[in-house]
Amino acid sequence: MPDSSIEKINCLIIGSGPAGYTAAIYASRANLKPVLYTGKEPGGQLTITNDVENYPGYPQGVMGPQMMEDFKNQAIRFGTDIRYEMITKVDFSSTPHKIWSETGHEIHANTVIIATGASAKWLGLESEQKLMNKGVSACAVCDGFFFRGQEVAIVGAGDTAAEEATYLAKLCKKVHLLVRRDEMRASKIMQERVFKTENLQVYWNTETIEILGEEGVEGAKIKNVLTGEISVLPVTGFFVAIGHKPNTELFEGQITLEENKYIKAVPGRSFTNVEGVFVCGDAQDHIYRQAVTAAGTGCMAALDAERYLSERNIV
């Protein structure tokens, strides 16, 4: 006899944030009756972001948590079943796909949309966490606008750090790029751009000891690891660009991942290498990492899931 405790659904969305909630809105409107598991951080990275000024439709800007509340409520309006739990196990070896929640609940889903996102890597300083969104940021493109005409520091040595440092230099009076070794990992062309930018100063063999300030960033205490010299930079903004970690551990061995652990998608589509499993948002995007692009791919994943089901006469 079939196990009556197993829940059978057409569309399961794993993860919230702009990608997951947008996928839910489209899937709900297509009558796929999606079930969305938010994960441990409902709303994703935007829930720890204060002012969002670059998302269309909010001419006065919006607080990140409020924006995600708006997304969630729109998904609920069209009938999305939102569950504040984590998915802890998946089995994509057969169809329908098998998924288990943290409470042990088993789901068999005809389609799965992965929207688990990525998390910024941090230095691990207590002052860094204290001043998060009070001058400390992991996204120069998102937050650089707020520091026009000011001095800022940025930590990192790769292409992202180089790109964000030169971006900040267009807005800020001076940019201090802190590199922990005696060389950068960035490509030669990106390094050349850094070195040619007049208001951008590179500090080699430098680590951050503390970010100063109470209600906002008032400086950065740095140390030269070779000489032991300690100094304070007079910055009002502090950016961390040491990479992101995709939240894809759950899917290792189940679908194809890139070398950097991002989920490999068919270019221009949301398809993974497993039929009926789609991916959207920062779990597959290590280039743009913006709310608006995540939302766009969430739309794509839902449309692809709808077509997949329709072609098989499941919906």
CA distance 207 to 201: 15
Per the residue annotation, which of 11, 142, 172, 280 is the catalytic one? 142
H/E stretch holding 237 reads: strand 237-240
142 catalytic? Reply is yes
Name the DSSP letter for residue 257. B
CA distance 35 to 40: 16
Per the residue annotation, which of 11, 143, 282, 285 is the catalytic one? 143
73 CB burial (10 A radius; 0-12, 13-18, 19+): exposed
Measured CA to CA in angstroms, residue 115 lies from 39, 73, 82 at distances of 10, 18, 14
The 10 Å Cβ neighbour count of residue 102 is 13
Q: Chain centroid to CA 63: how far?
A: 17
3-state secondary structure of 176: strand
Specify whether the CB–CB gap between 149 and 252 falls below 8 A: no
Helix, strand, coil share of the chain (percent; to 5): 30, 30, 45
46 CB burial (10 A radius; 0-12, 13-18, 19+): buried
* Tokens describing residue 33: 């009756």
Per the residue annotation, which of 51, 70, 81, 139 is the catalytic one? 139
> Which residues are paired to 257 by β-bridges?
263
* Tokens describing residue 37: 């598991």
Positions annotated as catalytic residues are 139, 142-143
